[in-house]
Amino acid sequence: MKNNGNTQKETTIFPINIANNVLIYETKIDSSFAIGNLILDTLKNNPKTSIGLSIGNMFKDIFTFIATNKNNAKVSFANAKIFLMTEFVNSNDSELTLFNWFQKNFLTQIDTMAKNTFVISSEKSNNSTNLDIIDFKKTLVKHAPIDIELLHLGTNGSIAFNEPSNDSSTINNLTGISILSSSSINELSSYLETKSCPKKVLTMGTLEVINAKKIIIPAYGAIMIAPLVKLLTANKYDPNWPITALIYAQSDVKIYLDKTTYDLLLQALKK
């Protein structure tokens, strides 16, 4: 994924730490409900909220909570701008798309408008929902910064499937093609309940991801400890762990943990 000449200033670091950036809940369900309430409250205060959505099973309970409680909260998604942050590159299977996963697990359960839902596409389309890379980037700029972002953290430290590399310039990446690592392929295959999936995705770049106003990262289980430790101990960007780019984000970064994961994290940080 090329950076297209944009540069990220790395002069100011905003360390991510437990005291300011980590929220602990008794269970994953409690954590998911807290995130759901946050999104509903954000929309209630600003019906035109822009939202970045990542795929992942850790978001399913959040989506269910929002869909179940939006009417009681008197919240509508009709004027919200929804950015689906990742999509496969030219999947040969028309049913095997990340958009279909979002449709099944969230979009059909809320009153979002097709004209306000933006999907990255491999090519131009007459469908206003599907935008090629150039138009998707233009739309991002038009609505920048995204108000609230549900960010997928991979077990390998990827963010929104921006994969590890040895190139420090990847912090400047904009929307483009990302070649998936084997661990990310396994994660996506699990989410989609399929034995295999395409090896390339179109995804929002690291620089665009970290420019959101508020970044929400739900992280549960022992498999999340390694990337979380890298983030919480980072003092510079490590391209082998894209999650470390968040130390340059001037946004409100919040990591949501259940108590079991938090206890494992504390043990790992003591080593």
pLDDT tens, residue by residue, 219-229: 999 999 999 99
pLDDT tens string 13-28? 999 999 999 999 999 9
Helix (H, G, I), strand (E, B) or coil at 85: coil
Q: Is the pLDDT of residue 200 over 80?
A: yes
**Residue reference for tokens 């938090």:** 262
What are the residues facing 252 on neighbouring strands? 214
- Percent of the chain exceeding pLDDT 90 equals 86
pLDDT tens string 43-58? 999 999 999 999 999 9
Gap between the Cα atoms of 210 and 171, Å rounded: 9
Which has the closest alpha carbon to 238: 179, 160, 159? 159
Confidence class for position 96, pLDDT limits 50, 70, 90:
confident
pLDDT tens string 50-95? 999 999 999 999 999 999 999 999 999 999 999 999 999 976 556 7
Gap between the Cα atoms of 44 and 4, Å rounded: 37
Mean predicted confidence (pLDDT) in 140-152: 96
Confidence class for position 127, pLDDT limits 50, 70, 90:
low
What are the residues facing 25 on neighbouring strands? 258
Q: What is the pLDDT of residue 196?
A: 85
Q: Is the pLDDT of residue 10 over 90?
A: no
Contact 120, 23 (CB under 8 A): no
Q: What is the pLDDT of residue 271?
A: 85
Q: What is the pLDDT of residue 11?
A: 58
Gap between the Cα atoms of 77 and 63, Å rounded: 13
